Amino acid sequence: VQPGLRYTYMARHLLGHYHSFVFLESSSWPVSSFLILVNFNSGGNWVPLTAAPEYSHPGQFGPGFYYERLMWLGTEEAAKAVPSVAFRLPGEGRLRGSPSRPHLVVWQFCIHASTAGEAVTMITRFLHDDYNVEFRGNSLATKMCRNYRPMLCAEGRNFEFLGWVYKVGSDMPFPKLSKAFRQEMMPQLSRADVWMCSIPAVWCWLLWDAAQTHPDALGRTTPIFAYLGLPILQHVQRHERSAFLEAFVALGKSERNIMAANNAYLAEEVAWQTGLRVPTLRIHGLHTNVTYLPLRNSEVLISRPGTSGGWQECILNRFVDANPDYALRFVQFTDLLDPYTIEEVYNDTLSYQSLSHYRAVVAFPYDTSLMFFWEFYSMNMPTFVPFQLWHWGIFGQHTRPDLGELQLLPGRGPVLSTLTPEEDRMPNPFFDGFGALDLQRAIFWSKYTDWAMFPHVQYFKSLSDLMSQLVTVDLQAVSAAMKNFNEECLVKSAATWRYVVERFLDLQPGLLTRAVLGRVPCAEVPTLEGRRISRASHARHPRTSSFSKASRRALAQAAEQS
């Protein structure tokens, strides 16, 4: 037994923890992790393949595949009523601070501020001239919530109570927890126009339960913006998962709510798990407020290891030691924090500006999507990633197998009967990092990771390949190409955020009267009835709105009263 354990231990390190950091491709041995794993899957027949045939990434061919993932057509949101306001042309926005700007109050809570912070950044930075959106943040992420303006931090009694909700949520039955939440929070929730949830998704269940329990005088629920950032079963008790998934689907299908994911992998994951197709509303990470400026041109920043373990630091140092004339030095991100701790570290003195000064960043993925990737990409900073994403990019929080044990399949009722059948869904997107790797699924799902879809990412197949590329690739040209993609995508994202705001404004009673009193041009006043305006009509008449007779009467009455 002892010799077998010794070989097993050696194989674990050679193949890498979570199958991720693999030494074989960087060695001179005539073997690869793919060769080993494909033969594990072959059932005894020898398969002499050292690499996946014709394996490539969508981003290598441009942004087309990614832009398709960002389209809302074919999603649940596309089936809902579109905003009745025709968007203005550039230069036609209201003057900053104009009293005619519609006012929208958004009450938000989360345990991780990155997703909610994206909404704050995009709306306040690009739509401020047209809308007065007031965010009332209640994030428990006490450090990260300060990265945004306005800050999203929970304070005082809210911080204390929501901390209690997070602590007891994994043990207390949901009906009891929801009742306590409503008793504590409804006084302030009732003063908001929109309720927002993100991470964890189970907190959206609290809002949905509160909305159904406390409708307005006309029986309408308060609109909810569910902006998803992590797998939806995270922090959901096992015996309550079926009930949660049914409530989740009902929330997503309600015309008074908007549900979106912050990355394409998560959107596909939700579709597999619930049969509900939600759109992707990507994170840009503009809160960094810096751009690539390689003042430390001889130093390359290495991302923190995550599930790839600390072996990469040793291997990189060995390669540098073996090549004493190599002109570059590797700087470990963890060394900028605390290299000797095993606990989570927050550093308030490490600025995004200082991170933008390195020659490039080398990222060893430990999830399908990571905030640090979006942040560095927003800086237009050249990013180098292992090419073999089938064993790098598919392990992490997004693919934890314990969060994919349950699927909601079509059943009886007006909601469940409309779900996508099981046979029309894609393969299981969850992976066990400690079991045998299903190569076919891994190769399939790797193309939905951000590492594979974003254009202008630089891929290396071995450490020697990485060291060569770092000194031969035109990094200024790479950065310029990243900048072009960022700006092009930003235009699309800003238009999508405008769509989100207009959707919620359409749901607010009294908006028509407020718009008339504020002397907003009639073409910008939303309809009260007949809100289902086809996209075709908007395309043909981009500067006109469709008014029902009842809406015209309401408009005339409001004008006479003013």
CB-based contacts of 409: which residues, under 8 Å, 6+ apart? Answer: 275, 419, 421, 422
Nearest to 277 by CA among 260, 254, 262: 260
Nearest to 273 by CA among 393, 411, 430: 430
CA 538 to chain centre: 29
Give kind and range of the element (H or E) at residue 34: helix 33-40
Alpha helices in 292-359, H assignment, sequence order: 311-322, 352-355
Mutual angle of helices 241-253 and 264-274, in 10-degree steps: 110
Tally of CB atoms within 10 A around 248: 27
- Tell whether the torsion through CA atoms of 166, 170, 172 and 176 is positive or negative: positive
Here the tokens at position 31 are: 């073997």
**Torsion (CA) 416, 422, 426, 432 in degrees, nearest 10:** 100
CA-based angle 147:231:238, to the nearest 5? Answer: 125
Return the pLDDT at 155: 97
In SS3 terms, 190-234 reads as: CCCCEEEECCCCHHHHHHHHHHHHCCCCCCCCCCEEEEECCCCCC
Return the pLDDT at 554: 42
Domain boundaries, the chain: 64-85+100-287, 289-492, 510-561
Per-residue pLDDT of the chain (562 residues; tens, 9 = 90+): 577 677 766 666 566 555 555 666 777 778 787 888 888 778 778 999 888 888 999 999 999 999 999 999 899 999 998 777 655 555 555 544 556 789 999 999 999 999 999 999 999 999 999 999 999 999 999 988 998 999 999 999 999 999 999 999 889 999 999 999 999 999 999 999 999 999 999 999 999 999 999 999 899 999 999 999 999 999 999 999 999 999 999 999 999 999 999 999 999 999 999 999 999 999 999 999 999 999 999 999 998 766 555 677 878 888 888 999 999 999 988 888 765 555 555 556 689 999 999 999 999 888 999 999 999 999 999 999 999 998 888 888 899 999 998 999 888 878 888 888 888 899 999 998 777 788 899 999 999 999 999 999 999 998 889 999 999 999 999 999 999 999 999 999 999 999 999 999 998 765 433 333 332 322 233 332 333 333 333 332 333 333 344 434 443 444 444 3
In SS3 terms, 429-450 reads as: CCCCCCCCCCHHHHHHHHCCCH
Alpha helices in 95-155, H assignment, sequence order: 114-126
CB-based contacts of 293: which residues, under 8 Å, 6+ apart? Answer: 356, 357
Nearest to 498 by CA among 30, 182, 233, 104: 104
Strand partners, 385: 459
